[in-house]
Amino acid sequence: MKPMHLPLELVLNVITCSLPKPNVLLTPSHPITQLLYSFALVCKETRRVANRYLRQHCLYLSSELRLRSLLLTIPTRPDLRSITALFLAPFGETIDDQPTATWVRELFSYTCTTLKRLIIDIPLRSLYPEHDHLGVRNILREGFQRLEQLEEFVSVRDELFLDITWHGDEPAFWRHWPKLRRLALYNPDTHADFWRGVAKNPQLETLVLTRADGLRDVNIKAEYFQRASRPLKVLLINVEDDQVRFGNMRRFAWDAVDPKMKMTIATYNVPLFEEENPIEGCQEYVKTGAEHGTLWDWEGEIIQHPPRIVQQVPSGA
């Protein structure tokens, strides 16, 4: 009995019906990744379709080896330059690794015209600038600075700390990306200059801050609305015991600077398993949300404007 061959249209339909939602990034071991890889080996037409979806959903560079393998493949696969979404975690516990930093810069030089969504898990604060004898920070800066098409950025483990001098006065590095609409950072120092920088990013719509410092020390809305008038969603992520409370925040004059409540500031508590480390728990939770594309839709408890004080007119006045 001869084997029955399915019509190509049906096979292609199987591929498209297997796809995740458009904004999902998949690990190499995920069943959908494995399925797409299998279809890439079937025939020319399935390879063309499967490779397109692998580029969209499965660029998960979780090691130096995966990064290097991709770079070695790009010269023979020009289509790999057209990457729109990427997870990048090629370093170990430190960025003191000049070859890997150079490969990151090379990757961004290939993909900077198309890359719109980037999730990184890189220990950017593991190497103080004064100890950076190999110039790793400058190499990474050159790479990240190319990403002018970037619209969505998540840094799981650190803020995007690429200063070449410790506690320098240079603007936050994400200011280099004029098309940035969504930004998520871990443990940033949210001083007054931080919020002024947020205000100067012309397209920014959503800001997610995990375990941020300095939230009690600055009047967020006052700083932001001195330089911007557009709406902004701010989500403050932490475990419940460490979460900032509305009573600890500087909310003076919020009604005056934001009468239409264009900025929403909300707290979002990460659930922890018993004995789970709060830092690792928050990082893994945000990473999962970013990979699944749900992070930007999370809603928390909105921090309200302080109640207006109404002066009582004495009776008989």
Give CA–CA dist 85/156, Å, rounded.
Answer: 16
Give CA–CA dist 317/314, Å, rounded.
Answer: 6
Q: Are 282 and 241 in contact (CB under 8 A)?
A: no
Give CA–CA dist 122/127, Å, rounded.
Answer: 11
pLDDT value, residue 165: 65
DSSP state of 161: -
Per-residue pLDDT of 107-137, as tens digits, reads 999 999 999 999 999 999 898 888 888 899 9
Q: Do the bridges between strand 182-186 and strand 152-155 make them parallel or antiparallel, or are there none, so unpaired?
A: parallel
> What is the value of pTM for the model shown?
0.89
Q: What are phi and psi of 235, to 5 degrees?
A: -120, 120
pLDDT value, residue 3: 47
Residue 46 has which token pair? 């399935």
pLDDT value, residue 117: 96
Give CA–CA dist 92/123, Å, rounded.
Answer: 8
Between 246 and 94, the more confident residue is 94
pLDDT value, residue 276: 87
pLDDT value, residue 127: 87
pLDDT value, residue 1: 42
136-144 and 98-111 helices, crossing angle to 10°:
10
Between 213 and 7, the more confident residue is 213
pLDDT value, residue 9: 66
Q: What is the largest CA-CA distance in the chain?
A: 105
- Helix/strand/coil percent split, the chain, to 5: 40, 15, 50
- With a pLDDT cut of 90, the percent of the chain lying above it is 63
pLDDT value, residue 207: 98
Q: Which of the four pLDDT bands, split at 50, 70 and 90, describes residue 7?
A: low
Between 289 and 309, the more confident residue is 289
Top-ranked range on mean pLDDT: pick from 2-16, 102-116, 152-166, 296-310: 102-116
Sheet holding 152-155, edge to edge: 60-61, 85-88, 117-120, 152-155, 182-186, 206-210, 232-238, 263-269, 301-302
- With a pLDDT cut of 70, the percent of the chain lying above it is 90
pLDDT value, residue 80: 87
pLDDT value, residue 317: 54
Give CA–CA dist 49/44, Å, rounded.
Answer: 9
Per-residue pLDDT of 200-256, as tens digits, reads 999 999 999 999 999 999 999 999 999 999 999 999 999 999 999 887 889 999 999
Residue 69 has which token pair? 């393998």
Report CA-CA distances (Å) from 234 to 5, 207, 240, 242: 53, 5, 17, 17
Residue 163 has which token pair? 């200063």
pLDDT value, residue 244: 92
Q: What is the mean pLDDT of residues 183-203?
A: 94
Question: Is the Cα dihedral 129, 134, 138, 140 positive or negative?
Answer: negative
Give CA–CA dist 302/205, Å, rounded.
Answer: 16
